[in-house]
Structure 1
Amino acid sequence: MIKIGSAKIDTNVFLAPLAGCADLSYRLICREYGAGMAFYEMADVNSIIRAQGKNKDLFMLHPDDQPIAAQLLGADPDMMLEAAKRLLQDIKPAFLDINAACPVKKVLKKKAGAYLMSEPKGLYAIVEKLASNLDLPVTVKMRAGYLKVDLKKLSAMSKDLQKAGAAALFVHGRTQKQLYHGKVDYAAIKAVKDAVSIPVFGSGDVLSPELAKKMFDETGCDGVLVARGSMGKPWIFEQINEYLKTGTLP
């Protein structure tokens, strides 16, 4: 069991918020194969506020799709809060995550996603606004850096996120510049883990049970996010859980 703020979750191996992929059907398949915790797909706050018709598809409810978290993409603290309040009228997630990790250009142009790694004061403001006004834990999905990894700055940023009210940090071990290429920087994730007292999850190339264990061993993280590793092999969750317990594959 892992505790994120007031939320108690029975697993520390989560299905990541895969935009354009992890819809209800995908999540339910993964849950059949051992995914005990999942995220709704990433949601843009502008779409939620403008109610452009996509929200119901993104946040379809099912009794077997629990526990679950929601993730918001945005840059303005007030808009983030407004979107969160609207969203929480319809769903009851275990916690609410702020996306500071998406590296694609169309998101960066909005000064959202991984762009927030380059202007952390804006990210702190979002975290503080949501954490102080919502009655559920607020977390952050982040990158190891923007253009490069600076362990000292990353550690300081992590501490400031905790001070702002973050209940957990999900760290993709690559920079924005790397996108999804190159090696995962385990040292960066470890630096975050060593800097804070809240749960830290490692993300990036958790593609097999062996790599999941390596993530735990190299970083000391409290949990892992499985993203691309679940595509085409949803049973990876069963495999990871068994491998972590026994050292053998089911």
Structure 2
Amino acid sequence: MRIGELELRCGLMLAPMAGVSDLPFRLLCREQGAELAVTEMVSAKALHYKNKATEELLKSCEGDRPLAVQLFGSEPEICAEAAEALSERSAFALIDFNMGCPMPKIVNNGDGSKLMTKPELAAEIIAAMAKKSKKPVCVKMRAGF
């Protein structure tokens, strides 16, 4: 499988899981064969406002490669800014935009799977992110809202 310049041999990937996919867990999964891992969801708005706790979600090391960062938000300019900043970090091979999370605290803010009800906004966000990011941008979504 090829995503931009990232080539995966076996395609075994660790899906992002809130409260689970931290660095120690990702390293354990890599020992068991996970070729690509994804961080927990990271708020574009939290990055914008320089939330200190958010940096903990972004922790990585050399053994944690290739790594994707999962971003969520609903404001095109803020999501694009976050994608640009994250694409500058060597730890991340790609940026995964979350349009699949159904949790009320995410959906009630217009983020996650709520964006599936606003395809024009979703397209605007993804286009803005892709324009600013130096790394590939992909989208995680559900079959429906």
TM-score range, shorter chain: over 0.9
Once residues 57 and 110 of structure 2 are traced to their aligned partners in structure 1, the CA distance between those partners, rounded to angstroms, is: 23
* Equivalence for 1:135: 134
Once residues 87 and 135 of structure 1 are traced to their aligned partners in structure 2, the CA distance between those partners, rounded to angstroms, is: 9
Query: How much does 1:91 deviate?
Result: 4.2
Cα distance change on mapping 1:73 and 1:139 into 2, 3 Å: same
Contact 1:44-1:74 at 8 Å conserved across structures: yes
Contact 1:3-1:9 at 8 Å conserved across structures: yes
Amino acid corresponding to residue 67 of structure 1 in structure 2:
P
Query: How much does 1:86 deviate?
Result: 2.6
What is the aligned-residue RMSD (CA, Å)? Answer: 1.3
Amino acid corresponding to residue 12 of structure 2 in structure 1:
V
Task: Name the TM-score, length of structure 2 as normaliser.
Answer: 0.93
User: Secondary structure at the residue paired with 1:34?
Assistant: coil
Contact 1:17-1:38 at 8 Å conserved across structures: yes
Contact 2:84-2:134 at 8 Å conserved across structures: no
Structure of larger gyration radius: 1
5+ residue gaps, structure 1, are: 147-250
Asked if 1:79 corresponds to 2:78, the answer is: yes
Q: Deviation above 3 Å: which 4+ runs of structure 1?
A: 88-92
Query: How much does 1:4 deviate?
Result: 1.0
Once residues 74 and 91 of structure 1 are traced to their aligned partners in structure 2, the CA distance between those partners, rounded to angstroms, is: 22
* Equivalence for 2:143: 144
Query: How much does 1:115 deviate?
Result: 0.2
Asked if 1:120 corresponds to 2:119, the answer is: yes
Amino acid corresponding to residue 68 of structure 1 in structure 2:
L
Contact 1:9-1:67 at 8 Å conserved across structures: no
* Equivalence for 1:53: 52
Contact 1:48-1:87 at 8 Å conserved across structures: no
User: Secondary structure at the residue paired with 2:142?
Assistant: strand
Asked if 1:94 corresponds to 2:109, the answer is: no
